[in-house]
Amino acid sequence: MSSLLVRLEAIESRLAIRTRPRTENNSLTWRCWRCRVADQGIHTRNSSTHASPEHEQALSASLKEPIAFSGPQEGSQAPSLSRTSAILNGLAAHTITPRTTISQPAPLSAKDKVFYALRNKQHKTLLKVFLEASKDEQFIQSIPPATLTEILRMLDPDYFVEPIKELHEDLSTAYVRLLGIKPLDVEVSEYMRSIRRLTRIRRRANHPLDLTDYTFLLKCARAVGDSEAADGIWLDMMRDKVQPNTTCYNYYLAARCWAGHAHAGRRHKLRVMPYNMAMRQTAEPLPGFEGFRVKRQGIRSTVFQMFNEMVQQGVQGDERTFTLLMTAMGREGDMDGVKSVLKKAWNVDVDALLKAADESTLAPVVPLDKATSALYPGDDLLFAIAHIFGSNNDIPTAIRLVDYIARQYEIDIPLRVWAQLFEWTFVLSTPRSGERRHDGPQIGQLPLASVSQLWETMTSPPYNVRPNVPMYNRYVKNLYHRQMLGQMLARMEEGIELYSRSVKQFRRASNKYRKTVVAVRGSRNGQSRAQRKQAEQESSLPIESLRFHYEMSRLVRSRNHQMVRRWMRLLLGGRRWSAGPNNAWERTVLPDIIEKWRSFMPERIEYNTSGGRVEFDSRPEDAESKTSQTKKQKDSRKPHKAVRKEESPSVE
């Protein structure tokens, strides 16, 4: 019996109870607490005691022996007290390795976040963390002026404004609502509020703005078309006695000439015709006409007053300066002044060019060195000519001038210049109806075929322009008005191919962004909260850049998709195309188009035929139920009339 008790005590002593007590340095460890054999007066040693070789041998021997729960066998002897003590001491030495304590890194301070974002060129992150850190007066006071200047330059409108502005140029207010995105005027207003706040922070730190800072602020005002902000910045420059340079003058003049262009629907109100000019002279202009005024205290006199001041200060103008002078003249219809600037600056005689049958008889243009001359023409001059003459209802002169200057100075005509020419050609060729026929739009009216002529010119050698989806959108509308179904379908096919490319670009950008985010998150497994936070900050550079490309490609894809859907509605809505032999259009062609481009079709398809009106749901599974429901609703609204409908064509 004594043998059984001692063996049971040995078994109990091997059972380690795992707990998590705190050590002296407050770190977490695993310890093996040993039981006390009170009957034998045996006490366990401290867990830090190491087992001797004898203890290890005794432990090994005890584990090899079988444990019996019966009484002592014949010839057996009870284990000695010394052996039991050795077993317990061996178990005491057999402890679990303590777990390593994880050091918690200190979170980044506001100053560290700002300088980290600045060093890694994280534009949006820098704007966010700097505005948060601006609450710390001591931190703001400690930032050197050069660093504050660099922070301002990181918030460049070329990153925050220009890409969005370029995308919104072809979006109406209705399209913006349909896409569910912020209007451009809201985007630029938020951006300018941030810039003003950063400027106040700079002044609060008792760091006066220098020429570089004011140049950047004027660039921001020019990018968003905020003439009031440009006026305020200019007054601050004069108060701080900062002498503006050519770039400052150009930014200020551009903010004046392009005031309010960020608002949707204002581009075509720049067209010079009696109604628009009258609206810009009223005491309270209607929405869309607030950007600038004409005649008395108008845009022309304001810009020339600033130009005269520029000359008096001895500041030399460049190509952009003279293009802005011409733009201000063009805003008020002073085309003689525009031609005079072209003659004096580049020796381009517009009237002689239009009359000349042979360009070799014209006086040569001013020879300029592209590397050294500030007046050497480029994209700015070509775009200004396209815009000024186009908005003044003279597209033929605009096309002739752009082509002539580009050849004389060996300039490749960029896509944005062709897009400007094509847009004004479309505007001037579109017929007006209703009251709009009497407010002056007939000035400079072009034939509908002018759009096709310009399209053929720019897409053929030597130009070989590749139009974008907005240009296809205008051309498809023009062909629709001209009832040219064959060419319309061909251009739609090409436009849908461009849309497919934008979808592929979006998917590539989306995959890159998603994989980067997943990789960063996956690398944080097992990290503490502070370590994950630090990893997010360190990985925000590629994530921010990839997210920017992802968002822009998503907007381009959505814009293109809505334009293609608009083409489908033109095919289906209202107009009955030439049926052809045996009504081929309504019996064969249109059903094939619906089947081919089903993903772009509206959910409810309706169109007229020679035998009635066809209505059906583009989703086959719901077609029968929804068609019957629509029929019941129409019958209930008009019970006294019988609605004749043709059986829905099969699109299977």
DSSP code of residue 37 = B
In a domain, residue 454? The reply is no
Final residue before a domain boundary, out of 41, 67, 93: 93
pLDDT of res. 390: 96
In a domain, residue 455? The reply is no
For 484-521, b/e burial (b = at least 16 CB within 10 A) is bbeebeebbeebbebbeebeebbeebbebbeebeeebe
C-alpha pair distances (Å), 111 with each of 135, 136, 528, 533: 12, 10, 22, 16
Clarify whether residues 546 and 441 are in a common domain.
no
Residue numbers in the chain where pLDDT is lower than 50: 1-2, 4-81, 83-84, 86-88, 90-104, 623-627, 632, 634, 636-652
Domain containing residue 161? 110-445
Helices assigned H by DSSP within 169-210: 173-179, 184-204
Final residue before a domain boundary, out of 411, 445, 479: 445
pLDDT of res. 25: 42
C-alpha pair distances (Å), 386 with each of 223, 252, 327: 20, 22, 11
Nearest to 254 by CA among 387, 348, 345, 164: 387
23 token code pair: 């050590």
CA distance 33 to 36: 10
Per-residue DSSP letters for 234-247? HHHHHHTTPPP-HH
C-alpha pair distances (Å), 336 with each of 175, 516, 527: 38, 57, 71
70 token code pair: 């019966």
Clarify whether residues 501 and 595 are in a common domain.
no
pTM: 0.76
Number of H helices, E strands in the chain: 29, 4
In a domain, residue 35? The reply is yes
Contacts of 1 (CB under 8 A, 6+ apart): 71, 72
Tell me the HSE value of 132 on the side-chain side, using a 13 A CA sphere: 12
Give the distance between the most distant pair of CA atoms in the chain.
Answer: 135
CA distance 349 to 363: 8
Clarify whether residues 29 and 134 are in a common domain.
no
pLDDT of res. 533: 56
Are 235 and 278 in contact, with CB atoms under 8 Å apart? no
In a domain, residue 533? The reply is no
Clarify whether residues 326 and 255 are in a common domain.
yes
Clarify whether residues 237 and 276 are in a common domain.
yes
Final residue before a domain boundary, out of 93, 126, 152: 93
For 26-57, b/e burial (b = at least 16 CB within 10 A) is eeebebbebbebeeeebebeeeeeebeeebbe
Clarify whether residues 81 and 136 are in a common domain.
no
Clarify whether residues 240 and 274 are in a common domain.
yes
Clarify whether residues 187 and 315 are in a common domain.
yes
In a domain, residue 17? The reply is yes
pLDDT of res. 536: 53
pLDDT of res. 518: 80
Clarify whether residues 273 and 334 are in a common domain.
yes
In a domain, residue 426? The reply is yes
Clarify whether residues 165 and 76 are in a common domain.
no
Clarify whether residues 82 and 145 are in a common domain.
no
pLDDT of res. 230: 95
Clarify whether residues 188 and 77 are in a common domain.
no
Name the domain count of the chain: 4
In a domain, residue 461? The reply is no
Angle in degrees, 0-180, between the axes of helices 395-408 and 415-429, rounded to the nearest 10: 160
In a domain, residue 39? The reply is yes
